[in-house]
Chains A and B, each alone.
Chain A
């Protein structure tokens, strides 16, 4: 920033000197010949020029010594020195000044935006309060070993992943997930580095070294994201490589060829009978007396426009802004290329369990055939009393919450129970003098119990006591609260096809898929079948249209890798997901997919705008300059002015 200030002062000084040169009444101050007056004026212009552009000329000279020609310093030097030689003194100085102002503004804008994006991504903790035998020391997070105790005061950032040993608080995880809801923590809960402690003092036992902690992994990912370049960025690099030499060659041609040709043709043109044509031609071609000067001036304007800076800076900056804006929403994109691909995504493929659904079995419904609801739930809970299976657990959880009781009460009941497990079917329990049968339809048939088939989709657990079926509990994986809205959003965004791939049973997949309005449903797939099915989808798509796969990162790594864009959800704490995916949604919310697509599209759109705008203006000014309708001022605008505007446009990518 100090450097910028110095440059600003230089520009102001040069501007003052430039005004002097322009408006100083030399003819009144000095009684010298007119020729002498011009020389004095030229000298003052030269002083202004050296103040404004001395560095540029010097760098240009140095670069030539170092074997680097064709950089913008060199081109500006040639252009302005050339202007001096064709006696356009004010123009030469003003153009250099204008160029420097533009450059200054450009550096300022880039630095500012870089800093503000970097700030968005900055979740790095500065220190850790290490508890060391009742003494608390502030150390850098890197020094804290696994197993150490650290203290986190209200307002501080949690430096390392760990488990709360004492204290209760709520944590702000918005820097990681974009989720503004506070997360409550109590002893034995795990906490994630990067979140901010809002209320009480927490004592945390460290479980991971800083290098392996969530915050380092995220930072690593975000900081390396700009290394993976989007196709558009590579296009710009290639374009820049050819653009400058081509414009320079054109400049040389313009300086030499037309004057020679005109020199040869002048006679014929003047003899033409149509007076207006002659005047027009004279305007376009330059008046005869300064023919060479005029064309050299036009060529010099070309040189000013020949720097591809606007593109070279604004395109990566737009992507960087998009990556920054996404990470502020808890969406980590591993590279500009993935952001670009997501912008062209037309098919979204979902995994079911853990992605659209919570991945937790819950009792969704009960159907009572006889007896009370209370009896049904109690017998079911006794039957599943010692079960560790997810279905058994869900039955017990439902019993606790519906009956407002806890495991202690159930254990008392279980003292009188003798449970026999029928693997794959359920359990048969002798309870007091009753015989309880809890299990699936097959078990009911096996035990010769009459039952009604339950019509509700899900996994069925029938409960029978002494040969009479009391009812049925329907257990299913519940949809996440935001799933439905997320799919609607995707449709609104113009996603042409949504697909569900799942290992679950066909009727369950159908029921969930249809209720969400998903277009294609493929069920009962093994992990390998998912890859095959995805490949079919990849061949069906139109060229340039991308297929995204959204999974939770558990056992679908091959599919995540195979898709054009692999999106992993709920990555907070899951290392595997961060490894396998191209885009990582930090929280469990499927609504993030829509947000990510919106950010990607906006970024791609801004990049396109900048490319069209920058190249368009440059080509337009090049043509106008060649025809003599644009002066060097316009050329400088086409160079730095366009760059500054493109940078400002790029900043929009940050705001979603």
Chain B
């Protein structure tokens, strides 16, 4: 499944790049791209665990900047 979410409080381009790298390493993530300019994350992951994976990705992103939020 591939979905696009809005990301809030993403306010540094370097962080976005870092988050993207780290989010790509989360188990079950097939592809992920975090777009700083449009403040969006495009996530492709296994269907059956999709929601759990989104949560995990958010946690990984929060490690870089704790204010950041995925809008679901």
Contact = CB atoms under 8 A, between A and B. Distances in A.
A312 B64 contact: no
Interface string A211-229: 0000000000001001100
B38 A107 contact: no
A118 B67 CA distance: 22
Contact of B37 (A63, A307, A320): A320
B13 A316 contact: yes
A317 B63 contact: no
A114 B39 contact: yes
A68 interface: yes
Given A3-B9, A3-B67, A68-B64, A317 B14 contact: no
A117 B37 contact: yes
B56 to A, nearest CB: 15
A649 to B, nearest CB: 15
A77 B16 CA distance: 21
Nearest to A223: B38
A111 interface: yes
Interface centre among A107, A111, A117, A227 (most CB of B within 10 A): A227
Nearest to B14: A312
B13 A226 contact: no
Interface string A46-86: 00000000000000001100101001100000000000000
Contacts of B40: 223
A237 B14 CA distance: 10
B35 A227 contact: yes
Nearest to A308: B14
Interface string A223-251: 10011000000000100100000000000
B18 A313 contact: no
Nearest to B33: A227
Interface size class of chain A, counting residues whose CB lies under 8 Å from the partner chain: 20 to 34
A309 interface: yes
A313 B13 contact: yes
B17 A226 contact: no
B51 interface: no
B32 to A, nearest CB: 11
A272 to B, nearest CB: 47
B36 interface: yes
A638 B18 CA distance: 23
A312 B11 CA distance: 13
A110 interface: yes
B6 to A, nearest CB: 11
A62 B63 CA distance: 8
B35 A237 contact: no
A642 to B, nearest CB: 15
B14 A226 contact: no
A34 B22 CA distance: 52
A312 B37 contact: no
A226 B35 contact: yes
B12 A107 contact: yes
A240 B12 CA distance: 15
Nearest to A323: B37
Contact of B11 (A111, A223, A226, A307): A111
Nearest to A4: B11
Given A107-B11, A107-B12, A114 B63 contact: no
Contact of A66 (B9, B36, B37, B63): B63
A316 to B, nearest CB: 6
Contacts of B13: 110, 309, 312-313, 316-317
Interface string A107-149: 1001100100110000000000000000000000000000000
Given A72-B14, A118-B38, A226-B35, 8 more contacts: A62-B66, A71-B18, A111-B11, A114-B39, A227-B42, A309-B13, A309-B14, A317-B13
Q: Top 4 closest A-B pairs, CB basis?
A: A313-B13, A320-B37, A66-B63, A226-B37
Interface of B: 9, 11-14, 17-18, 33, 35-40, 42, 63-64, 66-67
5 contacts: A62-B63, A68-B63, A71-B18, A117-B37, A309-B14
